[in-house]
Structure 1
Amino acid sequence: MQVTVRLLGRRLLLAIPTVGLVSLGIFAIAAASPFDPLSAHLGADFQSATQSQREAVSDAYDLDQNWFEAWLHWWGHLVTGDFGWSSTRSQPVAQVIAERLPFTLGMASAALLSAAVISVILGAVVGMRRGGLVDRSVTALAAMLAATPPFVISLLLVSVFAVSLGAFPTSGARRPGDPYTVEGILTHAVLPYIALTVSMIPWLLLTMRSAVVEAVASDAVRAARARGISGWVLLRGHVVPVSVLPTLALLGTRLPELIAGAAIVETVFGWPGLAEALVDSAVALDFPLLAALAVGSAVLVLAGSALSDAAAVWIDPRIGMRA
């Protein structure tokens, strides 16, 4: 336990400058973008706007200040709890996050948990039967899915289950004009949930399968078999505890893929989550919302990586990770 706490403490110290550099990079890259933030703020009125109107908008949103000054200004407000104003949503950034975070968090958590459970179970099964028909079929299917972009999976699900069969809604989280309800959200969430889960399974499954194959060939498992241990007892007591560690480590490193996949899936299905808002803020150069979501994504990736490593150390203290 002490090793795990020390590991988390070191990761926290490393995360502070990392988050600062990520936020600095966001403002620097956005400043070098060919998009004109004034055009994004004025929208269709950009061409017809007078010089005084353009100056008024620039002053209101501090569009003329240097990007480094804008970064310092943003952090100065952030430490006081002021996340700024989102021009794309016409709402405070804190309100945008509060309204959309439950949709993204619920969808991503459910998909990640499902993908992990399916990958661990199926990877263990096919790994114990290496070279068999089931192993070859599952491995080939996983490789094919790994090469398929999430938007292709999403469009295929929409085409089959929403358009052709009419079994599920095509987009959103509620019917137009209706309030949000649990039944409506769950119904609309089925297809994006499946798309996001399927997009995360292949690498986790293949990692688990490889770890099981390696564990089965180890001296410890051979010795257990020599003592008459086999079947479920062998898998549960000797193979899975060792094989699940690489999968846990991969969960932390694949969080950026989860965020990118969520952005694509939410855009295709019109899911009202943060990933969709992140894409819109990047296109429209909505700096306060873009910076808040980008920094939040970085924090999520760092936290996920630290927690996955801490879980691995907790399961097997012999690992002894130091960073």
Structure 2
Amino acid sequence: MAARRALLAVPVLLAVTLGVFAIAAASPFDPVRAYAGTAGLTSSQENLDQIRHNLGYDQPLLARWWEWLGSALTGDLGDSATLRAPVSQVVGERLGWSVLLCTLAFALAVVLGTVLGVLAARRRGSLLDRAVTTTAYVLEAAPPFWLGLLAVWLFALKLGVLPAGGLTDTGSEVATFGQIAGHVVLPALVLAVSQLPWFVLYVRQGVGDALDEDPVRGARARGLRERTVLLQHALRSGLLPVLTLIGSRVPELITGALLVETVFSWPGIAAATVEAATAVDFPLLAALTVLATAAVLAGNLLSDLLYGLADPRVAFDG
């Protein structure tokens, strides 16, 4: 199944990159003026046309896309016009920080969401259940950037217990482990909270339904302790839908990371995506879109594999 999915991913990635070039070409923003900056306001049209030719923006859409694709297959992703650096260098410098942020946030959301969902499912209709579900629905409707601004106001400005953003302390030239650990807490927490409601609600529903199934009732009738019934019977069955949720949340995780990194000035790949989109940076935008699409495809494959391993009744034939 993994090999089949990998083959199907090739045309998907090709279509996505072509779509990026098509959308960028139709954009009303002029990448040449964005590249020239303030100098473009006083430059003559002849100079702007020369820059357009040097950057290859005067070529037809398919020609630009085909040239980029051929270079990408050889490892050359082109140069970023906005960041004035090779795209591979931009991705290499920023990708690790985004992976760190997303991994911490996603792990926290899964663990905390599972715990809260199980607690709510065990006492459905109780005050705890209503409090957990109500909070989950409120957080579900809250935009990540709003949560980020609120967190900055509370923890950085009001309480002063966590830094407001960045990777290191102001004036520091070396990124130490302690500084990175302190600065990643707030953005990771905000990103985790933005993903938390779905895991809480899915776990609550799954475990709650499993507690009403005949095998669980039979386990209780045999005199097993409630903790054993919950952990060995209801929890395993109730968590199966959560495995499929992991793959479907990857696009939302990437979108949330884009907003959170922007709010907290986190030097990740998502922040570069904003710059590439606003400046219509074709090579950088295409490379970042391929990365995001590949992450979504990998997330869906991972969730299917986990579901199949957790439930032997599922065959790996899709």
Task: Tell me whether the two structures share a fold, i.e. TM-score over 0.5.
Answer: yes
Deviation at 1:70, TM superposition (A): 1.1
Partner residue of 1:4?
A: none
Q: Relative to structure 2, which stretch is displaced further, 92-101 or 12-21?
A: 12-21
Q: How many residues align?
A: 317
1:41 aligns with 2:35: yes
CA deviation string 1:11-40 (max 9, x = no partner): 212211111111111111111111111111
Cα offset for 1:122? Answer: 1.7
Partner of 2:104: 110
- Structure 1, 140-149 or 164-173: larger mean CA deviation: 164-173
Query: How far is 1:299 from its partner?
Result: 0.2
Mark the runs of 5 or more structure 2 residues left unpaired by the alignment: none
Measure, in 2, the Cα distance between the counterparts of 1:32 and 1:40: 16
CA contact (8 A) 1:8 1:307 kept: no
Determine the C-alpha separation between the residues in 1 that align with 2:235 and 2:55. 55
Of residues 119, 124, 134, the one that matches 1:125 is 119
Match of 1:32 in 2: 26
Offset, 1:175: 2.7
Letter in 1 for 2:24: A
| Distance in 1 (alpha carbons) for counterparts of 2:242 and 2:89 | 36
In the alignment, is the contact (CA less than 8 A) between 2:117 and 2:201 conserved in 1? yes
1:165 equivalent in structure 2 = 159
Amino acid at match of 2:94: R
Deviation, 1:321, is 5.2
State the identity %.
Answer: 44
Work out the CA distance in 2 between the residues paired with 1:44 and 1:157.
Answer: 35
Identify the match of residue 247 of structure 1 among 221, 242, 250: 242
The answer for the alignment partner of 2:317 in structure 1 is 322
Of 230, 234, 249, 1:235 maps to: 230
Instruction: Give the SS at the match of 2:308.
Output: helix
**Which amino acid in structure 2 is aligned with residue 198 of structure 1?**
V
The residue identity in structure 2 corresponding to 1:37 is P
Name the CA distance, whole Å, in 2 between partners of 1:25 and 1:207: 34
What is the SS of the residue equivalent to 2:27?
A: coil
Partner of 1:139: 133
Are 1:80 and 2:74 matched, yes or no? yes
1:142 is displaced (CA, Å) by 0.5
Tell me which of 289, 308, 313 is aligned to 2:284: 289
**Residue in structure 1 matched with residue 14 of structure 2 by the alignment:** 20
Contact 2:118 2:207 in 1 (8 A): yes
What's the CA shift for 1:273?
0.3
1: CA distance, partners of 2:11 / 2:240 = 28
Aligned partners of 2:106, 2:15: CA distance in 1, in Å? Answer: 28
Q: What is the deviation of 1:294?
A: 0.6
Q: Does 1:9 align with 2:7?
A: no
Shift of 1:151: 0.8
In 2, Cα distance between the equivalents of 1:17 and 1:197?
A: 32
- Residues 77-127 of structure 1, C-alpha deviations (whole Å, 9 max, x = no match): 001000110111111111111111111000000100111011112211211
Q: Following the alignment from structure 1 to structure 2, what is the Cα–Cα distance between the partners of residues 231 and 73?
A: 63
Deviations 1:161-207 (A, max 9, x none): 11112222212111344222211111111111110010010011101
**1:224 matches 2:219:** yes
How far apart in 2 are the matches of 1:280 and 1:176?
Answer: 23
Q: Deviations over 1:47-74 (max 9, x none)?
A: 2112332123112210111121111111
Hey, what's the Cα distance between the residues in 2 that align with 1:321 and 1:210?
26
Maintained 8 Å contact 1:252/1:304: yes
Q: TM-score, normalised by structure 2?
A: 0.97
CA distance in 2, matches of 1:176, 1:72: 44
Return 140-149 or 185-194, whichever deviates more: 185-194
Could you tell me which residue of structure 2 aligns to residue 3 of structure 1?
Answer: none
**In 2, distance between residues paired with 1:39 and 1:292?**
22
- In structure 1, stretches of 5+ residues that fail to align are 1-6
Give distance in 2, aligned partners of 1:108 and 1:170. 18
Q: CA RMSD in A?
A: 1.2
Deviations 1:189-236 (A, max 9, x none): 111111001001001110111001111111111111111123221111
SS in 2 for 1:46: helix
Q: How does 1:50-89 map to 2 (within 5 A)?
A: 50-89=44-83
